[in-house]
Amino acid sequence: MADNIIFYFSDQQRWDTFNETLMPNLTELASDGVSFSDAYTCQPVCGPARACLQTGEYATGSGAYWNGIPLSSDIKPLAEHFNDAGYDTAYIGKWHLASDRFPGMGFHCEKTAVPEEKRGGYKYWRAADVLEFTSHGYDGYVFDENNNRIDFKGYRADCINDFALEFIENHNGEKPFFMFVSQLEPHHQNDHNRFEGPVDTVNKFRNYPLPDDLTFLDGDYEKEYPDYVSAINRLDDNLGRLIECLKKKGIYENTVIIYTSDHGCHFKTRNAEYKRSCHDSATHIPLVISGGAFKGGKTDERMVSLIDLPPTLLSLAGIEIPQHYKGNDLCGKTERECVFMQISESQVGRAIRTKDYKYSVRAPKNGQMCHSSGIYFEDYLYDLKKDPCEKNNLVKDKEYKEIREKLKKMLVHEMVNAGEKEPVIISALKVKQA
């Protein structure tokens, strides 16, 4: 029988929170599998990042380039590939791919059940389209596959995990399963405008060290970081409970577990909110895969994108990878020269991240109204070997002219590969001269 596959997804989790202090269970899981040191999102905002995972396309290719754009019916979603291959499929937690963007227009189910045709093909369902609208850090509700409301009491991450445990415990084992567990933590609670860690552990992290890439900038990290890391620590507790459930049922050895996040968090240091930025604080994510082809407690230093996970998931299940998928199968040995990112809403932006450099461009357009452009202006250049915290923007430094030209060509290539038209990119030096 093929391996079961569990995709365990956090929301807005920085890569550097994957450590033995905050996440001992994930650290232990990595000791059996593979941890990826250079994993990055392809879209640093919730809905578009999720659309990339469910379609294998970049956000402009899937059409879901902003929050509040439903998953396209023109692209066969990930779960349908698993359904066709004889898997039982399950989705638990935050979906964020059913409701329309503008109030009063189109279809809305932010606080009501997601219709079957808008669930991306998943059969078992314990989810809400916008989980932060149907719950808080404590208490809330989701819906099942029959549109019944299910209320829960307790810390949200615990309760979402309980639904995953329920699926595992009740699964009859006749077919392998693919389960997507989409936690909301450590994402801030929108209507409370703050992060909400579990009250019984947050004091434990009051003096937890702040990351160096935050403290030289203004932001809300001093106030919010204890709750943020406390929530991540509770996610790890729940991952541990899930692993124990698999072991108790005797299926741990034939279950692949993937743990990652949609994007990171810069705590209002790079713009007015927490993401939608090219900086590593918003784009560098944790990634651990254990089971199947990923064994041995290794660290993989390849450049990896979130867009690489859909083909990897299908490969792990022995399912043919569609030709339109943009990512690389991590089961193979393909290496990227860079990771490509599309940035929406805060701007119309594009960026690449290599081992040594970050290069980003921005269009002269409103990111809330436009999603692409034919013209971009150079915005950021960081020499990451010299400046890992991205303090010094070198985009107008004449000594980096040749490097900028090389990175520009690389970025244009990635944009065209993503299905975009070849753009014109205006040098920051020309803007200065003008």
Report the C-alpha gap between 396 and 137 in whole angstroms. Answer: 44
CB 338 within 8 A of CB 303: yes
Buried b (16+ CB within 10 A) or exposed e, 183-202: bbbbbbbeeeeebbbbeebb
Q: 103 pLDDT exceeds 90?
A: no
Percent of the chain with pLDDT over 70: 99
Report the C-alpha gap between 341 and 363 in whole angstroms. Answer: 14
pTM for this one? 0.97
- Phi and psi at 97, nearest 5°, equal -140, 30
Residues 401-425, mean pLDDT to the nearest whole number: 97
Q: Is residue 328 part of a domain?
A: no
pLDDT band of residue 430 (cuts 50, 70, 90) is confident
Clarify whether residues 387 and 295 are in a common domain.
Answer: no
Q: Tally Cβ neighbours within 10 Å of residue 48.
A: 30
Percent of the chain with pLDDT over 90: 96
Please give the pLDDT value at position 105: 81
Which tokens is 385 given? 């070997």
Clarify whether residues 296 and 352 are in a common domain.
Answer: no
Report the C-alpha gap between 20 and 8 in whole angstroms. Answer: 18
CB 145 within 8 A of CB 124: yes
Residue 320, classified by CB atoms within 10 Å of its CB into exposed (0-12), middle (13-18) or buried (19+), is exposed
Beta carbons within 8 Å of 38's beta carbon, 6+ residues apart: 284, 301, 302, 303, 304, 339, 355
Q: Is residue 337 part of a domain?
A: no
Q: What is the tens place of the pLDDT at every residue in 341-392? A: 999 999 999 999 999 999 999 999 998 999 999 999 999 999 999 999 999 9
Element (H, E) at 5: strand 4-11
Q: What is the CATH number of the domain that holds 50?
A: 3.40.720.10
Residues 238-255, mean pLDDT to the nearest whole number: 98
Clarify whether residues 112 and 186 are in a common domain.
Answer: yes
Please state whether the peptide bond connecting residue 186 to the residue before it is cis, i.e. omega within 30 degrees of 0: yes
Please give the pLDDT value at position 329: 98
- 250 torsion bin: left (phi>0), alpha (psi -120 to 50), beta (else): left
Residues 251-274, mean pLDDT to the nearest whole number: 97
Report the C-alpha gap between 66 and 371 in whole angstroms. Answer: 8
Residues 111-134, mean pLDDT to the nearest whole number: 97
Q: How many domains, the chain?
A: 2
What does DSSP assign to residue 1?
-
Beta carbons within 8 Å of 37's beta carbon, 6+ residues apart: 299, 300, 301
Write down which residue in 271, 301, 316 finishes a domain. Answer: 316
Clarify whether residues 56 and 99 are in a common domain.
Answer: yes
The partner residues of 186 in beta bridges, in order of sequence, read 11
Which tokens is 239 given? 């991952």
Please give the pLDDT value at position 432: 54
Q: 195 pLDDT exceeds 60?
A: yes
Q: What is the tens place of the pLDDT at every residue in 25-48? A: 999 999 999 999 999 999 999 999
Closest to 52 (Cα-Cα) out of 64, 70, 68, 67: 64
Residues 154-161, mean pLDDT to the nearest whole number: 98
Helix (H, G, I), strand (E, B) or coil at 175: coil
Write down which residue in 316, 339, 373 finishes a domain. Answer: 316
Q: Is residue 335 part of a domain?
A: no
Which tokens is 185 given? 């933590």
Q: 1 pLDDT exceeds 90?
A: no
Give the domain range for residue 310: 4-316
Average pLDDT in the chain? 96
Q: 434 pLDDT exceeds 50?
A: no
pLDDT band of residue 420 (cuts 50, 70, 90) is very high
